[in-house]
Amino acid sequence: MVTADPRATRLPAGSGVPAAGLVPREFFGRPALEVAPDLLGCVLEHQTADGLVAVALTEVEAYAGEADPASHAYRGRTRRNAVMYGPPGHAYVYFTYGMHFCVNVVCLPEGTASAVLLRAGRVVAGERLAQHRRPVNGPARDLARGPARLCQALAIDRALNGADLCDPASPLRMRKSAAARSAEETLIRTGPRVGVREGADVPWRFWLDGEPTVSTYRAHAPRRRYPRKATP
């Protein structure tokens, strides 16, 4: 069984964090393509010593594990992606481009890799703290607009890899949507995933139509190789 990184802070027993309202584990025990659209509107929250920041999810991407060439699990289990093979409802956090963290939610029963990347959201609690963590001049809509910004606003790093989002004692938790969402009230759009080279055309990115916090679509751009100059 995969557990959270031992550096991850856990809330003490009797901390008063209610279990009511948390997304149940069975919600995540489904294929990522089913979980992804249902996550829109749910709230990811992180409690730290500095305070709580919560983000209502507005954009996500599904990854289908070993059957998906764009997934980290496409070539099987590794030390890096081990959390994806663990129980559903846990956070899979990875470092990318040598500078950013991204957070996913593990789906399907233990032993099968599948996950949903949390791409963007709207800060609904702790906006001043989120702004302190992202000291940039810009609108509030940009605080968690994109997977790297979302992690910065929520102070998510590798120490939270494996955190149980369904456990009220966990510092990182997923709550149900504050308001019920219906097809008539909110339209969910789908389209290609962002910045992937393989499996780029499948419409496995989901976002709330008209939501200003949704990130800008960018197709994968291969790294350019420049010829080395001859030594004189």
- Where residue 30 sits, what CATH number does that domain have? 3.10.300.10
Within a domain: residue 94? yes
Burial class, 173, CB count within 10 angstroms (exposed 0-12 / middle 13-18 / buried 19+): buried
Within a domain: residue 127? yes
Within a domain: residue 182? yes
Task: Give the helix/strand (H/E) hosting 122.
Answer: strand 115-125
Q: How many domains does the chain have?
A: 1
Average pLDDT over the chain reads 84
Cα 100 to chain centroid distance, Å, stands at 13
pLDDT at 179: 60
Within a domain: residue 13? no
Within a domain: residue 92? yes
Q: pLDDT of 145-182, one tens digit each?
A: 999 999 999 999 999 999 999 999 999 999 998 665 54
CA distances from 64 to 113, 116, 202, 207, 218 (A): 7, 9, 11, 18, 21
Q: pLDDT of 71-94, one tens digit each?
A: 888 888 998 899 999 999 999 999
Within a domain: residue 213? no
> Which pTM was predicted?
0.83
User: pLDDT tier at 227 (50, 70, 90 boundaries)?
Assistant: very low
Within a domain: residue 227? no
Within a domain: residue 106? yes
Which domain does 53 fall in, by range?
25-208
CA distances from 22 to 8, 122, 163 (A): 19, 18, 14
Q: Per-residue pLDDT for 4 more than 90?
A: no
Least confident of 124-133, 187-196, 211-220: 211-220
CB 2 within 8 A of CB 82: yes
